[in-house]
Amino acid sequence: MKYILSPSFLSLDFTRAGEQIKAADEAGADWMHVDVMDGAFVPNISFGPPVIKSLRKATDKPFDVHLMIENPDRLIDAFVDAGANRITVHAETVYHLDRVLHSIKEAGCEAGVALNPATPLSTVENVLDLADMVLIMTVNPGYGGQKFIPYCYDKIRALRATIDERGLDTDIQIDGGAGRGNIREILEAGANVVVAGSAVFNGDIEDNVRFFKDVMNEFEGR
Ligand code: DX5
Ligand code: ZN
């Protein structure tokens, strides 16, 4: 299995954003996780297409854009134009999940579906073939630096079992509360894409990225 580390821009020091992104890139981060919050679906506001377009200049790594916004279908083109490579929408924010996933793909992007901790896996079962990734939120979305919710391990395990049973290669991403203390448990449960914000950008970025990637390489070699 291919393991991916996707550091979250939400934890950047924006006065030094370019420099910190380059440090994560050079240390071996695979993708860059871009958290978009609208102050409506989640109780916080982050940034939108113009900021993403500007940060796009700091790295060639894929931009994994996590839309925590209401009516994401209206803004897909704007995020594609800003440089998104993969766009993930929350199942809780769309009436027509199948249609939105198709329109993301038609716009030339990979498509993901995110589920809040309390949202059941059955919500995505019918679109597992269509989606490139399922994002299992392991905190309630809105803020960086929160604690990983333990019951999410069961969700990751159950989704991994379904994906393997059906012979699919859908990525399982987790987001929220990942760190040095639980990365092994997270990969063991079956996630292959890990978002980390504070655990990458707080402290020594290079050392943090290397730590995650060393564990991932160890799992890849199994
Ligand atoms: C939560 C965001 C996450 C968050 C992760 O709403 O979607 O991407 O920034 O931050 P950490 O890794 O600090 O929990
Ligand atoms: Zn996120």
Strand partners, 4: 193
- What order do you get walking across the sheet with 63-68 strand by strand? 4-7, 193-196, 171-175, 133-137, 110-115, 86-90, 63-68, 32-37
How much is the pLDDT for 45? 98
Is the minimum distance from the CB of 112 to ligand 1 under 6 angstroms? no
98 assigned to active site: no
pTM of the model: 0.98
Residue 135 contacts residue 175 (beta carbons within 8 Å): yes
How much is the pLDDT for 76? 98
Domain count, the chain: 1
Tell me the C-alpha to C-alpha distance, in Å, between residue 84 and each of 50, 81, 203.
12, 7, 27
How much is the pLDDT for 181? 98
Dihedral angle over CA of 35, 119, 117, 213, nearest 10 = -60
SS3 219: helix
Percent of the chain with pLDDT over 90: 100
* CATH number of the domain encompassing residue 165: 3.20.20.70
How much is the pLDDT for 94? 98
How much is the pLDDT for 161? 98
For 91-112, the pLDDT digits (tens) are 999 999 999 999 999 999 999 9
Q: For residue 58, which phi and psi values (nearest 5 degrees)? A: -85, -15
Which residues are CB-neighbours of 134 under 8 A, at least 6 positions away?
112, 113, 114, 115, 124, 128, 159, 170, 171, 172, 173
How much is the pLDDT for 215? 98
Percent of the chain with pLDDT over 70: 100
The ligand whose atoms approach the alpha carbon of 66 most closely is: 2
Is the minimum distance from the CB of 177 to ligand 1 under 6 angstroms? yes
How much is the pLDDT for 177? 99
Mean pLDDT, to the nearest integer, of 147-167? 98
| Predicted confidence band of residue 171 (pLDDT cuts 50, 70, 90) | very high
132 assigned to active site: no
How many angstroms does the Cα of residue 167 sit away from the middle of ligand 2?
Answer: 27
| Predicted confidence band of residue 190 (pLDDT cuts 50, 70, 90) | very high
Print the domain residue range for 73: 4-220
Mean pLDDT of the chain: 98
Residue nearest to atom 4 of ligand 1 (CA): 144
For 50-73, the pLDDT digits (tens) are 999 999 999 999 999 999 999 999
Q: What is the largest CA-CA distance in the chain?
A: 46
How much is the pLDDT for 134? 99
How many angstroms does the Cα of residue 195 sit away from the middle of ligand 2?
Answer: 7
Which residues are CB-neighbours of 33 under 8 A, at least 6 positions away?
6, 7, 8, 9, 64, 66, 175, 195, 197
How many angstroms does the Cα of residue 33 sit away from the middle of ligand 1?
Answer: 9
